[in-house]
A and B are shown apart, each in its own frame.
Chain A
Amino acid sequence: MFRRTEPTDCTITWEGRTLPARTGESLAAALLAAGITAFRETPVSGSPRGPLCLMGACFDCLVEVEGAQNMQACLVPVSPGLRVAMQRGARDFVEDAA
């Protein structure tokens, strides 16, 4: 799908898996570079979605970052060790608090 032309310098985790990444690049780019396309399941129908625009407009790249839900992966910069998970359905504050 995509191939990196620049070296990685850190790792992040996606759903518990370790992925190579580059500090400062967008989280969305790091996931795409690792071959991940489905970032979330929609709250309307549960269907899988990935990024469309990568410029902060479409809200299709929502993920859970360090426990915070509904984060736009294209606007979150990678930092070493970042823990990221799929956004499943609507944001859940009750689960957040638990």
Chain B
Amino acid sequence: MQEFLQQVVNGLTIGSIYALVALGYTMVYGILKLINFAHGELFMIGSFLAFTLIVSANLMEHIPHPVAGLVAVFLLVALMVAVIGLILERVAYRPLRRSSRLAPLVSALGASIFLQNAIMLVYGGGYLVFPENLVPNIEWSVGGINIGLMRVIILALSISLMLFLYLLVQKTRLGAAMRACSLDHDTARLMGINVDRIIALVFVIGPALGAIAGIMVGMYYRQINFTMGWAYGLRAFTAAILGGIGNIPGAMVGGLLLGILETIGAGYVAAAWKDVVAFIILILILILRPTGLLGERVAEKV
């Protein structure tokens, strides 16, 4: 039982990262009906930029307090990746908004290949290692379950970001405009909503959240590689589908659930098959309940 609970805690940690990345997929899908294949790369770029700030630019040394230093890293990286997200939307997706469904899909794949290789050219193909003591190595034991400080930070930060986003979408005028756009662009435009600006906003928030997830992965696992965007991106996408794509609470639930299922699968079945778990869940969900746990209809209406 204790081991099981430990697995659940581990799963929640990684799951909250999936959930953060999944939010980016689900928001873009909700508004543009586009699978932003490049989103995983934005996540990956987040962790590489953080590596640059922390290791190459030695940002932490220049800022007196280590907590302030970390906050600065998070904010700066989120900002930079949000700008990249904006450029991505502008260059790769906006010109294709009125074309067939195939075109944005291919464009997204192209953007993904481009970003991945750009990072590989700049940073090289090998693994980069984050420094060890960014977060003090404190561990608590609650009823026999070990919880490290880094885990607590990941959980707290991602859950508060998700809450923030949820409130933004549900309670503010801006959120109402976003929801309106996801229902119908033309009608939203008639209601005086600047649809282009809302789409741009989605491409700011999603990548920023993804980048924060990327930094946390870098700090938690400490090894980063230019291919990691693909692996995490696909899992996050699975999480979004699992919860019901286009549905923000769905992405959160889906992420956490996927994290737990994957960790338990790895712990009790076989570690080598861990990567299959996400895909099997993805396929089963799409076959059996394509609406996801909390989502809209996705099967072809014929």
A-B complex is real = no
Question: What residues of chain A have their CB less than 8 Å away from a CB belonging to chain B?
Answer: none
